[in-house]
Amino acid sequence: MVSRRQMVAIGLATASVAMGGGAWAQAYPNKIIKLQVPFAPGGTTDIIARVMSDSLGKALGQSMVVENKAGGGGVVGATELARTPADGYVLGMATVSTTAANPAINDKIPYNTLTDFTPIINIAATPNVIAVHPSFPAKDYKSFVAELKKNPGKYSYSSSGTGGIGHLQTELFKSLTNTFITHIPYRGAGPALNDTVGGQVPIIFDNLPSALPHIKSGRLIAIVVAAPQRLAVLPDVPTFKEVGLEPVNRMAYYGLIGPKGLPQDVVDKVYNATKQALTDPAVKKRIEDTGSLIVGNTPAEFTAQIKAEFEVYKEVVAKQKLKLE
């Protein structure tokens, strides 16, 4: 039989544990935070993550390390994030590929993009670009399309992976222009860029931040961009809208997400720290120098944006009858 003194001791111990748990939760973060990139190093997602990690870690008062989990057009990393404990110590980079394009075309993806994540903030929006190796016979949009029509099946294009935004938007481009190019998927934009710059693949659909240095150096030639208007860094390159392909004229997003059920206080801390990091002139300049636009929307706005983008790509897949290769 439990004595009164023992009952009091048990009660005090229980209260102590409860208070300790509360103090632990309030102390977030009290250890290193991993920022997971679902692609190989060198692509735009990796660039944005690494630009943000130092300042974001400082704003949170903890070290933040970038970890690359490549494969499946971002699906491998996104799946791992969805299965991670929702304690805020593993966060992920969300892209159109992982939260909209891939889920729209692949019904076997092992996560639900609308219910298995906690959206926190969209950091930046980036233009997309079709670019070619300098050895490609065409150097502008009109002659590019003419060359593809003249030689169906002769050329191939690289992308960050099957089902990713580069794959889906290029397939949409092919459908709208009645052209045929063979898809060569990679484990991220970095490896895809390396092979295109090296001449192994003549065409790439990529996000502008990772492609721009190669375009500026003349190792790639920009043909057409997805952006609201012509870009100051590429004034002579038309937008998809200008050439009559408005459905392809969609920018990419790069945001922070966590697993579903991320505590609200963790969401608030990461959101506020990200907003603070984005006020750092050095961070802002590094992101904008890539051709990206700072967004910094709220968790609710980013949630709505992901849902809207997913619906757009579901409609694209249905209308264009797109299937995985």
| pTM of structure | 0.79
Q: What is the pLDDT of residue 21?
A: 43
**236 and 163 both lie in a single domain:** yes
CA atoms of 307 and 276, how far apart (whole Å): 26
Q: What is the pLDDT of residue 26?
A: 58
Residue 122: which domain range?
30-126+251-320
Number of domains in the chain: 2
**236 and 255 both lie in a single domain:** no
CA atoms of 75 and 40, how far apart (whole Å): 12
Backbone angles phi, psi at 140, to 5 degrees: -140, 170
Q: What is the pLDDT of residue 188?
A: 84
Give per-residue pLDDT as tens, 207-234: 898 899 999 999 999 999 999 899 988 9
CA atoms of 237 and 240, how far apart (whole Å): 10
25 is a domain residue: no
Q: What is the pLDDT of residue 16?
A: 43
Closest CA to 64 of 53, 77, 52: 53
What stretches in the chain show pLDDT beneath 50? 8-10, 12-25
112 is a domain residue: yes
**122 and 169 both lie in a single domain:** no
Q: What is the pLDDT of residue 201?
A: 98
Closest CA to 31 of 1, 70, 60: 60
Q: What is the pLDDT of residue 288?
A: 87
Domain boundary among 248, 273, 300: 248
7 is a domain residue: no
